[in-house]
Structure 1
Amino acid sequence: MAGGGQVEAPAIGREGAGDGDSVSQVISRLVEDEGSALQAFYDARSHRPAWHDGESVAAFAAALHTLDTDGLIPQDYQADGLVAAHREAYAEGGSDGGNAGGNAGGNAEGNEREARFDLHVSRVLLTALTHLQRGKVDPRAIDGDWDIPIEAAELDPTAISRAVDAQRFEQAFAEARPAYAPYERLRAGLARYRTLERLGGWESLPARQRALRPGDIDDDVVLLRERLAIMGEVELMAATIEAFPGGVIEGPDPRHYDAKLEAAVRRFQRRHLLEGDGIVGQQTLAALNVPVEDRIDQIRLNMERARWLLHGLPESFVLVDIAGYRLSYFRPNGEIWRSRIVVGRPYRRTPSLRSEITHMTVNPTWTIPPTILREDVLPAVRRDLGYLWRERIQVLSPSGAPLDPWEIDWSRPGNVVLRQSPGPHNALGELVIRFPNEHMVYLHDTPSQGLFAREQRAASSGCIRVENIAEFTQLLFDDTDSGHDVRSQIERGETRNVRLAERVPVILHYWTVHPSEDGQLAFRPDIYERDDALLRALDRPLAL
């Protein structure tokens, strides 16, 4: 049944309900048709019932309600119906609820009912643990570009069995959830925003014809000040006469857009990847006015994304934060090297994937991919054939033989290959960092360095442009003992592949909430419009 509401006791099957079967024997028979996780759980218990004790069921039901701290919905796991279902399962003629093994010669129908109930509750427990560890939603169902392997949950059936017997359910949940600091920061942020929701959230700032600017004196500045103070900028709150009856208070005018408020607005803008100019225009106003309920949902769905990813991470790896426009290299020595990046446009999305960096291409040529050729380059060539010379693009046959551009009908060019010569002008710059993947994306340099100065940088055709890529490449060479100097490799002027002595894991992932180390949550624009589909899937009731 779907999550929530009254839980019906599992139906009693006619087959195999022998008069002499104990509850343990019925469990042993029924579990053969279940999944491997449930079989392993009962194997660890020698098929003893786990849920004969009503107190244990009640404790488990109470623990299920704590799943809301992970952004999951307790009703999905039937938290409000398990106790009643236990009473029904043990209501008529079954074995004594205190007898773990059941009565070998007892009521066969009752034993069957109890065994089916036991399997059902264990299935709920394992489902909850799996969702905490790996996520509730299958990312492949909502993201056609998803290319990160989905690994089965790693659950210890013996440890889970012991936790059930000791009624340590919240401990079992804690051991299942991702043991990484970003996940815990998201949990803390979710709790904080839910507190804000209980306190009434925040008042929206009214629409304005002109932006609020530093130096302005306006009633809306008071609302702006209060809004940012709610988010932690407590020094912005100005005392009011009403708070101190009979007192005379001198202080700054709360309607004045002063330097402290400007600094707080700039911090807010930077966290939300807005232009950090201190001016409250339409984009900043829209970000300020997102309701607390929507921010809670945004945190919840990014906790789900964290559960997809935050397990089995190596000590050293490269993480590409697509929606945050940032690359982080977690080095073997514990340091973290970070850089700004440019990612794919909304209609040419950078995919989510997991791979390993194998080599670099120095002074690369660029064979123009079919989509860019069709949509960008051919229209430019048709307007002006001189585009090929200005961009130093060769026209080749599929076998690599040079072709004369003047002899080609560019309205129907056929199966030609366009390749840009190496050099600083090349669209890939001077370096490409390669890793195997079906999407043909990679990390690379760019001659368009000015793009890195923008706050929002979805401007590529799917590959990732990396600021200071030569420094990054040298770190990869050094950390893998590859023995190469990146600058001397470039200065040789040759197009050549240079391999790493060891592969370096790389993960491309999409986050629209980033938990910083100081506990602040940075909310990013959903550039690929993926949040709504994930939220719908996350809130879809389960059938257990």
Structure 2
Amino acid sequence: MRKILLLTFLAVAVLGCKKDPKSKPKTDEPLVKHEPGSVLFDSSEVVKLEDKQLTAFYRAQNFHTFWVDSTKRKKAETILAEAEKYGLDPKDYYLEKIRKYEKKYLDLSQDDHLTYDFLLTQSVRRFMIHVSCGKLNPYHIYPNWDLAQPSFNVNKTLAEAVSGDSLPKVISKIEPQHVVYKRLKKALAYLDTFGKDTLKQIVFTEKIKRGDSSENVIRIKRRLMFWRDMERTDSISPWYDRKTANAMKKFQLRHGLIPDGIAGAGTVAALNFTKIQRKQQVIVNLERWRWFPHEMGRQYVIVNIPDYRLRVIKNGDTVDTRRVVVGKEKRRTPVLSSTFTDVILNPTWTVPPTIIKEDLGPDAAKDTNYFRNRRLKIFNSKGEEIPSSKWNSAKPNNYRYVQDPGDDNSLGNVKFNFRNRFTVYLHDTNHRDYFSRNYRSLSSGCVRVQNPLPLAAYLINDSIRWNLDKINEVVATKETTYIRLKDKTRIHQLYWTAWMNKRGELEFREDIYNYDADLFKRLRQ
């Protein structure tokens, strides 16, 4: 009976930190003696459950029961009961079953005592893994994901935490320590301070601006009041007055929209998100931050894909911010973490396979001036440059296409390289007008950076040989120049759509790749 009860639970509980198929979790056995008053049991009882991690844990306890102290059991139960504070589901930790066992603890048979001990150990282990590393494995969900696995020795950590009566402190320690994660937890609690959301949806028909009157204005005002962007003492009339427009600007700023005070289609769509939807959005972003690197580095560049922003961080402070253009929905910018290796001034551009297949091949077949207009050189399999007249449109993948440096080069004036399996990079662009747009999911996967030369100077970090004036001089020559970076600056391309800013305000961004709803569904399966 015990095996039937536990096997289903254990099958997923031990896998929580196995994010990266290329890495393995730490499995050192905890060197902790068994608790006084614990009961010795036959090792076969745990071995037959076919869980190597659980067997290792109890081997370190000399195959004695672990949860002898009622106070420690109660602390464990309390932590599991507070799973929702972390955006987790208490049902994942068999809380009700644990409570039933605890209620009749003194009357349990020896067999049930052992079942309960195993169950509580695995429930707490599972919770610790979920809090630290996340519940789900992103490699099983996203093909464009490449982050190293967060890991810790869960057996050793659990044994030492419970034996030292420090389980709550240890839970806080193994959580991500990044300020965004900490504020997301506060955001989750803050959302619970809002009342019940019973407001009707706003049906968009036309833009509403200051001076307009409409029945929709009443619904808009109620939404703005609900989200505390507008004072509840303000008028609920159908007039879109100055106070309403100003409140709308505040709402728009919190949602990454153009703060023009006009209720357009995008603004109304954001207003129509319910409290439950926003809470779910915070929960999925808590999960993501458990997947993200727990140590970002002393100096790093971080891109938040749906926010279209790049930030340069040094010693915990943001020292620079840039607008970026990211991959369109069908050519998504990958989530990854790497280290910058070099900067190329006046780079050439070699057309990648996806663009050859989906853009160049079909377009060039219809336009005889395609290659000339784009200054693209064509090279055959022998590396020989050939004229466009000898290009075989039926076999576009048989060639290599290279664009020389220049004002119309697709990579612009600079390219930032870092190792990754997607062959993506940061770069300048010849379409700088895109940065003025609010929606900037427009590239083929690489991240385009606004005004990138100061970033190049920062990463090169050589004020004598490669200051900004020198970089501009080299760019003016149009000659390709490679600069190897001596500093190990990390680059993190991440994806998160909700956070709490330093003023304690909730911020949300459009889920441009439609990840959020699907991820929440998976979390609650």
**2:190 pairs with 1:192:** yes
Structure 1 residue 412, shift from structure 2 partner: 4.0
Relative to structure 2, which stretch is displaced further, 373-382 or 136-145?
Answer: 373-382
What amino acid is the match of 2:92?
Answer: D
In 2: Cα distance, 1:290 partner to 1:335 partner: 30
In 2: Cα distance, 1:518 partner to 1:41 partner: 44
For structure 2, the 5+ residue unaligned runs are 9-36
Structure 1 residue 68, shift from structure 2 partner: 0.1
In 1: Cα distance, 2:381 partner to 2:156 partner: 57
Listed one character per residue, the Cα deviations across residues 388-430 of structure 1 (whole Å, up to 9, x for unaligned) are 1221111111332110211233244561221111112100001
Of 172, 175, 178, which residue of structure 2 is paired with 1:177? Answer: 175
The verdict on how the C-alpha distance between 1:468 and 1:258 changes in structure 2, with shifts beyond 3 A counting, is same
Structure 1 residue 163, shift from structure 2 partner: 4.0
Counterpart in 1 of 2:23? none
**2:233 pairs with 1:238:** yes
Structure 1 residue 203, shift from structure 2 partner: 1.1
Structure 1 residue 79, shift from structure 2 partner: 1.5
Higher Rg of the two aligned structures? 1
Listed one character per residue, the Cα deviations across residues 310-353 of structure 1 (whole Å, up to 9, x for unaligned) are 51221211111111111111125844311111111111111111
**2:126 pairs with 1:127:** yes
Counterpart in 1 of 2:354? 371
Counterpart in 1 of 2:99? 83
Summarize the alignment of residues 83-162 of structure 1 with structure 2, pairs less than 5 Å apart: 83-86=99-102, 91=107, 110=110, 113-155=112-154, 157=156, 160-161=158-159
Q: Secondary structure at the match of 2:334?
A: coil
Summarize the alignment of residues 405-420 of structure 1 with structure 2, pairs less than 5 Å apart: 405-413=388-396, 415-420=398-403
In 2: Cα distance, 1:277 partner to 1:166 partner: 56
TM-align CA RMSD: 3.0
Counterpart in 1 of 2:212? 216
Contact conserved, 1:8 with 1:85, CA < 8 A, in 2? no
**2:359 pairs with 1:359:** no
Counterpart in 2 of 1:518? 503
Summarize the alignment of residues 250-269 of structure 1 with structure 2, pairs less than 5 Å apart: 254-269=237-252
What amino acid is the match of 1:238?
Answer: T
Contact conserved, 2:313 with 2:320, CA < 8 A, in 1? yes
Summarize the alignment of residues 437-516 of structure 1 with structure 2, pairs less than 5 Å apart: 437-478=420-461, 485-516=470-501
Counterpart in 1 of 2:519? 534
What amino acid is the match of 1:25?
Answer: L
Residue identity over aligned pairs, in percent, reads 29
Structure 1 residue 270, shift from structure 2 partner: 3.2
The verdict on how the C-alpha distance between 1:437 and 1:9 changes in structure 2, with shifts beyond 3 A counting, is closer
Contact conserved, 1:180 with 1:310, CA < 8 A, in 2? no
In 2: Cα distance, 1:452 partner to 1:417 partner: 30
Contact conserved, 1:274 with 1:284, CA < 8 A, in 2? yes
Contact conserved, 1:9 with 1:89, CA < 8 A, in 2? no
In 1: Cα distance, 2:472 partner to 2:348 partner: 18
Q: Secondary structure at the match of 1:419?
A: strand
For structure 1, the 5+ residue unaligned runs are 2-6, 12-21, 95-109, 240-251
**2:46 pairs with 1:63:** no
Q: Secondary structure at the match of 1:518?
A: coil
Counterpart in 2 of 1:97? none
Q: Secondary structure at the match of 1:80?
A: helix
What amino acid is the match of 1:502?
Answer: D
What amino acid is the match of 1:409?
Answer: N
Contact conserved, 2:348 with 2:480, CA < 8 A, in 1? yes
Q: Secondary structure at the match of 1:473?
A: helix
In 2: Cα distance, 1:439 partner to 1:394 partner: 24
What amino acid is the match of 2:262?
Answer: I
Task: Normalising by structure 2, report the TM-score.
Answer: 0.85
Structure 1 residue 164, shift from structure 2 partner: 2.6
Counterpart in 1 of 2:162? 164
In 2: Cα distance, 1:372 partner to 1:228 partner: 44
Q: Secondary structure at the match of 1:395?
A: strand
Q: Secondary structure at the match of 1:85?
A: helix
The verdict on how the C-alpha distance between 1:478 and 1:214 changes in structure 2, with shifts beyond 3 A counting, is same
In 2: Cα distance, 1:358 partner to 1:75 partner: 46
In 2: Cα distance, 1:480 partner to 1:24 partner: 68
**2:258 pairs with 1:272:** no
Contact conserved, 1:366 with 1:420, CA < 8 A, in 2? yes
Contact conserved, 1:215 with 1:258, CA < 8 A, in 2? yes
In 2: Cα distance, 1:254 partner to 1:302 partner: 37
Summarize the alignment of residues 323-334 of structure 1 with structure 2, pairs less than 5 Å apart: 323-332=306-315, 334=317
The verdict on how the C-alpha distance between 1:504 and 1:43 changes in structure 2, with shifts beyond 3 A counting, is farther
Contact conserved, 1:480 with 1:502, CA < 8 A, in 2? no
Listed one character per residue, the Cα deviations across residues 40-86 of structure 1 (whole Å, up to 9, x for unaligned) are 65576565533234454344223211110111001110112213224
Structure 1 residue 273, shift from structure 2 partner: 3.1
Listed one character per residue, the Cα deviations across residues 241-281 of structure 1 (whole Å, up to 9, x for unaligned) are xxxxxxxxxxx784432223212212322332334332212
In 2: Cα distance, 1:517 partner to 1:135 partner: 25
In 1: Cα distance, 2:380 partner to 2:427 partner: 26
Relative to structure 2, which stretch is displaced further, 142-151 or 270-279?
Answer: 270-279
Summarize the alignment of residues 41-56 of structure 1 with structure 2, pairs less than 5 Å apart: 42=58, 48-56=64-72
Structure 1 residue 117, shift from structure 2 partner: 2.7
Listed one character per residue, the Cα deviations across residues 200-236 of structure 1 (whole Å, up to 9, x for unaligned) are 12513432433221112344333322322222225x3
Structure 1 residue 372, shift from structure 2 partner: 0.7
Paired residue total: 492
In 2: Cα distance, 1:358 partner to 1:470 partner: 16
